[in-house]
Amino acid sequence: MSEPKSRREVFLKLGLGAGVAALGAQAVASLRSLVPNVSYDSPTTVKIGMPNDFPDGMKFLPDERLFVFREGKTLHAVSAVCTHLGCTVRAEALSAPETKDVSGKPLRLTHRFLCPCHGSKYAGDGTNVSGPAPKPLAWYHLSLSPDDGQVVVDLARAVERDFRFTLA
Amino acid sequence: MEKRTDSPYPKVDRPILAVVGVLLVISCALFVWSDRKHDWRYYQATFRAQVAEKLGAEKAKLLRPGLQQVWVADLKRADRCMTCHQAALWKGFETAEEPLRTHPAGPLRNHPVEKYGCTSCHGGQGYAVDATEAHGPVEHWEEPLLGKTLGEAYGLVDDKNAAMQMNCNVCHRYDRETKGAEAINLAKKLVTERGCRACHVVNGRGGSIGPDLTNVGEKAAEQYEYGRLSGQKTSFAWHVAHFKDPRALVPETVMPNFHFTTKEAQALSMLVLSWRRAPVPADYRPGTPRTDPQTAAEVETELKMKTGPGAWFVKTGCFVCHSIQALGVKSPAQIGPDLSTAVEDVQSRFGRTLDDFLREPTGTMSVVLSRQIILTPEEKAVAVGKLREAFAEYQKQKAEDAKGKKPAASIGAH
Amino acid sequence: MSVKPDKAGSQPHGAPGVHTKPLWSVRPASDREAGDAVVSNFLLHWFPAKTYKPSLDWNYSFWLGTASAALLLLVTVSGLPLLFLYVPSVERAYGSVKDIEYVTTFGFWIRAVHRLSAHLMVAVVFLHMVRVFLTGAYKNGRGQGQKREQNWVLGVGLLLLTLLLSFTGYLLPWDQLAYWAITVGTNIASSIPFVGSAIRELLLGGRAIDQATLIRFYVLHVIALPAAIGVIFLYHMWRVRKDGGLARADRATLLPEKAAEAPSKTKTYTLLGVARGTSPAVKASTLERADTTVNSVPDLTRRILIVVLAIFALVSIASVFYHAPLEEPANALVTPNPAKAPWYFLWLQEIVTDTTVKIGSFTINGAFLGGVLLPGALVFLLTLWPWLDKSAPGSAGVWFPKDRRTQNAVFLAFVAGVLVLTFIGTFCRGPYWHLYWPWQAWPELPTRI
């Protein structure tokens, strides 16, 4: 007599227990809705202008947070995002530009970079010199857009510091 | 032992509670199923398998799983079409069945997906991720996919896909001819040939006998009178019938019957429906003027400077600082002295001849001629020659002025 | 069978009122443990220790009040994720709701739960009010210090707040329904003589429906009104306890006393659970007779759990199949045809349609008569009714008592009127507000392409 009763008991408890567990599962699963499935971010490859828009020396692009340097026919792009905590660093022109070997290639350094947030300092090639910055500023890949001939930067593609984009 | 009151309730209520528990478990299962049931999961798996088979497992790994979205901030469009239409930008699936077919490369060359999205051309509901709601027609979304299904429903003559050209012309409305938009091109030709502008304002100019058609595509469907229209009650159907026989729909109209063929009437209907007040940024619309308009006099002066006797100085860039009145060159900045009298002026300022000064300039000109405007010795000779001509011209004009002024002054004296 | 007064020391489990189980006893071994479970648990402390059996009947209250509370809980919980997902801006509101519908994991389900439980809440709160009216449950029975009429007024307030929450809620997606509902709703307010246009301007935050309007309704929907409904709901529950539970429990006092029972001198936890002298003076011996009451834990709590969980389960299941509607983006240039309010306002829309009156050269706008005066008068009458009802206290807590027959009939006539008008508005009105049979097809509405 007592055995079927206790089995019934187990079923009743199981029913309610599973139900409450299911309710909890739904509540937790609903939190999945807070993880975005689609992105409204701006694309990482951006057309930044015709080669002629970049004069010799440095040009700052605030939208992309990027310094584009031109030396004759070669271009390279250095990120303006501080590697410490993401503030935008400012460029300061050097009174006496110098040429240095960077990753085996000579590079004319015309500026240095200062971060307004926590005082990190970077040399003109992006090397972190002082302050809390843990690593050098990133360099990004440049190319020429085949359709309209604009310079294209790929902000998702960091490159080594011997990268130079040479205009034809 | 303490007393416990007997209760009749547990016997019935506890099984009910257990049933409710089972219901909750069912609801949880349904809830998960509702998220998994979407067709795009099937299409993505299929396409992954196809890529792996055709192009190798390495390539298949490049496919990002999950919902895909193209967000075009300029057009405020978030299109999720490529969630199913996975092959759109892949090469090698040109002959496959939709939704896993490669998009024709031609239109994409000038209309990259990241700048235009999908729905700005194709129509449909970009937000949706299921075919029914994305393609339409569906309640509460007035832009169905402008594709073959719609073309067949309207019995479009020749090209069943022509309806999409309506969206082409939202941007291309000022083009005379748009590559690939044959129906719209035909309609634009008809607008010129049949003289629609005699009565209607089209793209900003025309007569006032008929209504202004500049934004007629914006007119709400319910604003048309459908009383005499048989068949589909849509703005498009109304326009087709109206183009074929205006008086049949609006008896009191003065619009003549042009006896358009069905194809022509359909093309014209697409054209007028494309005339919308679409919030398209100017750089999406070819033909939209991007400079402030010039007056005829300004255009003439500019032309004279570019082609007249002083053209050489304009081309070289001297005109940025120097006017040369005698040769009709007017400097926008006028920082330097007028060069009409340079032959004399240089002599008096620097005590050197013009040739000598240009060969070895001093002051500002030394900076300009060494950095910004670099001239070969031959070019310098040309400059000197032309400046001599300018001086001669200047003296001639001065003499004429002196002659002309005297009688004028004597008249004034009377 | 008698309850022994607790003696310190006779219980090895602890002092009186100290419950030794970690949460509460699902199956208390004794009445004492059941009572302690109520007192020592935060979630249960608003329940009495013992419940009068007939109050638990399914077919007396139909548990509509509990159902309303369950729906309020559900609508609040489902609103939380939506708070993170919805963007209250004219440019982005519609897109964010489309995103919730299409690309947020479980987003459409969460929105459907929110919508469905809100709709159900309107219906259930209304039915709860009908039940309370028909059983005369706003009447004070035999207890002293009962103020059930106050609780009725709170209830009317809760009904109005429920409607306002629904109204402000369906404005937020910024679709055609939202835009034209604000237009109509605020124009009803502006039909009030003298101050109308000022009220409308205050509601809209300007003279046009724009961002200022959206943010006002948003703040009302997510902060002001929920806070109000929460506070009044708690007060409503507290009054139920103060007034001695359901009106039906008053009837326990009519039961004959069993003389043989030893009178208990000290009762820490009576049926009414109120230790103050102002509590209804119901003789505890009658109330706590074993054949008339059961322990609240677990018999009352179990039934509450059944109602709450069943509602969660049913709404959750229905929401998988129900798609919360979203119309075209708001368009000031085109009024939808027909432009219908949600179903619970359609009786008002019907009245507004039919109440523009001409007296000589003088015209009273239906908006004022049907949209302000008539509903205002109904709410006024409803609020005052407990003071107008002169029936005997014995008619409290009984379905269809003889001496309330007339007022119940009149009330039901009003309810029927509202239901009929709602039905007509929902099923019989087509384009241009013309009448159609529910099975009759509407004329085809033109579309663009």
Which CATH number goes with the domain that contains B264? 1.10.760
Is the confidence at residue B37, as pLDDT, over 60? yes
Considering only residues C43 and C200, tell me which one the structure prediction assigns the higher pLDDT.
C200
Q: Is residue B386, in this structure, part of any structural domain at all?
A: yes
Predicted local distance difference test score (pLDDT) of residue A160: 93
B127: containing domain: 38-102+122-135
Q: What is residue B44's three-state secondary structure?
A: helix
Q: Which residues of A touch C84 (CB under 8 A)?
A: 33-34
Measure Cα distances from C110 to A27, A75, C105 in Å.
10, 51, 9
What are the tens digits of pLDDT across the range B271-309?
999 999 877 888 888 877 767 778 888 888 888 888 888
User: Which of C1, C291, C326, C448 to mutate against chain B (most B CBs within 10 Å)?
Assistant: C448
A1-27 exposure pattern, b = at least 16 Cβ within 10 A, e = fewer: eeeeeeeeeeebeebbebbbebbebbe
Q: Please tell me whether residues B157 and B277 are part of one structural domain.
A: yes
What are the tens digits of pLDDT across the range B129-138?
999 999 988 8
Please give the biggest Cα pair distance in chain C. 87
Domain boundary among B224, B253, B288: B288
Q: What is residue B145's three-state secondary structure?
A: strand
Instruction: List the helix and strand counts (H, then E) for chain B.
Output: 19, 4
What are the tens digits of pLDDT across the range A115-138?
999 999 999 999 999 999 999 999
Q: Decide if C64 contacts C71 (C-beta within 8 A).
A: no
Q: Is residue B108, in this structure, part of any structural domain at all?
A: no
Q: Please tell me whether residues B219 and B321 are part of one structural domain.
A: no
B window 159-198, beta carbon within 8 A of C: 163, 166
Domain boundary among B288, B310, B325: B288
Domain boundary among B260, B288, B316: B288
Predicted local distance difference test score (pLDDT) of residue C42: 78
If pLDDT is split at 50, 70 and 90, which confidence band does C1 have?
A: very low
A19 vs C81, C103, C309: nearest CB: C309
Distance CA B277, CA B216 (A): 9
Q: What kind and span of H or E run contains B309? A: none
Predicted local distance difference test score (pLDDT) of residue C342: 85
Taking CB atoms and an 8 Å limit, are A37 and C104 in contact across chains?
Answer: yes
Q: Please tell me whether residues B245 and B223 are part of one structural domain.
A: yes
Three-state SS string across chain A, please? CHHHHHHHHHHHHHHHHHHHHHHHHHHHHHHHHHCCCCCCCCCCEEEEECHHHCCCEEEEECCCCEEEEEECCEEEEEECECCCCCCECEEEEEEEEEEEEECCEEEEEEEEEECCCCCCEECCCCCEEECCCCCCCCEEEEEECCCCCCEEEEEEEEECCCCCEECC
Taking CB atoms and an 8 Å limit, are C109 and B163 in contact across chains?
Answer: no
Average pLDDT, chain B: 88
Predicted local distance difference test score (pLDDT) of residue C258: 53
Question: With an 8 Å Cβ cutoff, is C110 touching chain A?
Answer: yes
Q: Which residues of A touch C99 (CB under 8 A)?
A: 38
**What is the token pair recorded at B80?**
């999720």
Query: How many domains would you assign to chain B?
Result: 3
Predicted local distance difference test score (pLDDT) of residue B409: 44
Is the confidence at residue A153, as pLDDT, over 90? yes
Average pLDDT, chain C: 85
**Domain A45-166 CATH assignment equals 3.20.20.70:** no
Question: With an 8 Å Cβ cutoff, is B33 touching chain C?
Answer: yes
Q: Which residues of C touch B128 (CB under 8 A)?
A: 102
Q: Is residue B345, in this structure, part of any structural domain at all?
A: yes
What are the tens digits of pLDDT across the range B319-340?
888 988 888 888 887 888 888 8
If pLDDT is split at 50, 70 and 90, which confidence band does C297 have?
A: confident
Q: Please tell me whether residues B163 and B266 are part of one structural domain.
A: yes
Q: Closest Cα of chain C to A30: distance in Å?
A: 6
Q: Is residue B19, in this structure, part of any structural domain at all?
A: no
Report the half-sphere exposure of C328 (CA within 13 A, side-chain side): 18
Taking CB atoms and an 8 Å limit, are B221 and C103 in contact across chains?
Answer: no
Q: Closest Cα of chain C to A62: distance in Å?
A: 25
What are the tens digits of pLDDT across the range C84-109?
999 999 999 999 999 999 999 999 99
Residues C429-449: what's their mean pLDDT? 88
Taking CB atoms and an 8 Å limit, are B18 and A29 in contact across chains?
Answer: no
Predicted local distance difference test score (pLDDT) of residue C8: 41
What are the tens digits of pLDDT across the range B46-96?
999 999 999 989 988 888 899 999 999 889 999 999 999 999 999 889 999
Look up the CATH number of domain C36-259+267-275+284-331. 1.20.810.10
Predicted local distance difference test score (pLDDT) of residue B135: 95
Taking CB atoms and an 8 Å limit, are B26 and C314 in contact across chains?
Answer: no
Q: C376: how many CB neighbours lie within 10 A of its CB?
A: 11
- What does R_g of chain A's alpha carbons equal in angstroms? 28
C135 Cβ contact list (under 8 Å, min separation 6): C60, C247, C248, C396, C397, C398, C399
What are the tens digits of pLDDT across the range B389-401?
889 988 888 888 8
Report the range of poorest mean pLDDT among A146-150, B209-213, C161-165, C436-440. Answer: A146-150
Is the confidence at residue A1, as pLDDT, over 80? no
Q: Please tell me whether residues B209 and B306 are part of one structural domain.
A: no
**What is the token pair recorded at C38?**
């109520």
Is the confidence at residue B42, as pLDDT, over 90? yes
Measure Cα distances from B325 to A52, A54, B296, B390, B410 in Å.
32, 35, 20, 8, 27
Q: Please tell me whether residues B232 and B153 are part of one structural domain.
A: yes
Question: With an 8 Å Cβ cutoff, is B91 touching chain C?
Answer: no
If pLDDT is split at 50, 70 and 90, which confidence band does C261 have?
A: very low
Q: Please tell me whether residues B210 and B130 are part of one structural domain.
A: no
Q: Please tell me whether residues B197 and B278 are part of one structural domain.
A: yes
Question: With an 8 Å Cβ cutoff, is B215 touching chain C?
Answer: no
Any idea which residue has 């432009």 for tokens?
C339
If pLDDT is split at 50, 70 and 90, which confidence band does B142 have?
A: confident
Residue of C nearest to A31 (CA): C81
Residues C217-226: what's their mean pLDDT? 97
Predicted local distance difference test score (pLDDT) of residue C19: 65
Taking CB atoms and an 8 Å limit, are C81 and A37 in contact across chains?
Answer: no
In percent, how much of chain A has pLDDT > 90?
61
Taking CB atoms and an 8 Å limit, are A15 and B19 in contact across chains?
Answer: yes
What are the tens digits of pLDDT across the range C340-381?
888 898 998 898 888 888 888 888 888 888 889 999 999 999
Predicted local distance difference test score (pLDDT) of residue C377: 95
Is the confidence at residue C25, as pLDDT, over 80? no
Is the confidence at residue C272, as pLDDT, over 70? no
Q: Please tell me whether residues B163 and B129 are part of one structural domain.
A: no
Q: Please tell me whether residues B249 and B361 are part of one structural domain.
A: no
B221 vs C290, C325, C448: nearest CB: C448
Which residues on adjacent β-strands are paired with residue A159?
A139
Question: With an 8 Å Cβ cutoff, is B220 touching chain C?
Answer: yes
Q: Is residue B24, in this structure, part of any structural domain at all?
A: no
C window 304-323, beta carbon within 8 A of A: 309, 312-313, 316
Q: Please tell me whether residues B302 and B276 are part of one structural domain.
A: no
Predicted local distance difference test score (pLDDT) of residue B412: 41
